[in-house]
Amino acid sequence: MASDVFDVKVEGIEKIVKRLKSLDSKKAKSAMRSSVRVGANEIKKLAVQFVRPSDNPATYENIAKNIIAKTGGARSEKKNGGLVMRIGVMGGAKRYVQNKGNVRKHRVGKKYKTLGSEFNPGGDTYYWRFVEFGTSKNYARPFMRNAAAQGAQPAINAITRDLPKKIDRELAKVN
């Protein structure tokens, strides 16, 4: 899958980088992760706005409720060489995968439902892919790609506004 490239303009980053270097790596990473989450939430808000017209209010499932922004985790950060934030839709899989536990319990290939809960508030929204990418019978109505394209600059702006505050907070903890 090819990734799209977005042009963004970052101003005043030199001062921020200099202040980040004054923190130890653990505190700097904490400040950056928190600020990057603020930026990711800007893109998440746009994705929710863009998908709302596609959601059918007559059904229990709601794609907008299942859009999340989360950290990529230590493994993906190590692989990619920096902080990773993922913005996506929960409730994607529909079939049990082939692994040791599912083979032992004879569940491989069987379907299951992921009904709404605190972990999946919008219900079983596996069909978000069909909305985003289209099918042979329906045209694509991209909401995630549009949110990423239109939200890149607002996300960078939010990060550059928020990061100095987070750095100040971390420096205050040290002193």
- Whether residue 5 contacts residue 145, with contact meaning beta carbons closer than 8 Å, is answered with no
Distance, in Å, from the CA atom of 88 to the CA atom of 65, rounded to the nearest integer, reads 11
- The structure's pTM equals 0.79
Distance, in Å, from the CA atom of 168 to the CA atom of 87, rounded to the nearest integer, reads 27
State the Cα angle at 19 between 34 and 39, rounded to 5°.
Answer: 25
Span 12-54, pLDDT tens digits: 788 888 888 888 888 888 899 999 999 999 999 999 999 987 7
Which three-class secondary structure state does DSSP give residue 108?
A: coil
Amino acid of residue 123:
G
Question: pLDDT in tens for each of the 175 residues of the chain?
Answer: 445 677 778 887 888 888 888 888 888 888 999 999 999 999 999 999 999 877 777 777 888 989 999 888 778 777 877 888 999 988 765 667 788 888 888 888 776 666 566 667 887 787 888 889 999 999 999 999 999 999 999 999 999 999 999 998 888 887 6
